[in-house]
Structure 1
Amino acid sequence: MNVINLTNGVIDGIVIDPSAIRSFKLNEPAKYVTTWFPGSGSAFVLLMNNDTYNGLSEEKRAWIDAVASDELSRGGGATYDKVAGAGLKLA
């Protein structure tokens, strides 16, 4: 793991979103945090194979359709921002 390499000096830094600070305990070995760097460039998605979805009963497809919405995306983004803020505060 990069945290071990950061601790023992094999690497000098890690470029990662601040939401990972607490998860990977980056606040322990890191001496500095740069906050101007753009956030994560990787997308987080939930996917399902179309054939699998089509093979579900109407009831199960309705359950998925009910939660697979913009609201789920906005809620995930808000949680991600909250965790990132907590990571920066910890650092």
Structure 2
Amino acid sequence: MFHPTRGGTRGGQDQFKWEDVKEDRHRENYLGNSLLAPVGRWQKGRDLTWYAKANSGDADKDSQQSQKRAEFQSIKDAEAEAMAEAL
């Protein structure tokens, strides 16, 4: 009733290689083929994942936003104190 499980992986995942996709005539049907199995001259020497990398300007934007928030909060506090004194 209880048999040992078969070895290997289900669906042949252990046999899949992106190098084989490069030579497949239906390579356009594979999701991610342009990044993981690039074919042709236009990919040579190019960074195909440029859009997923963080910019160096992101840290500057974060610090500017935190400075704006701090300035805005100090203005709100000053207005609240002025309103409390007026009442």
- Give your verdict on TM over 0.5: no
For normalisation by structure 1, the TM-score amounts to 0.28
Structure with larger RCO (C-alpha < 8 A, sep 6+) = 1
For normalisation by structure 2, the TM-score amounts to 0.29
Q: Which has the larger radius of gyration?
A: 2
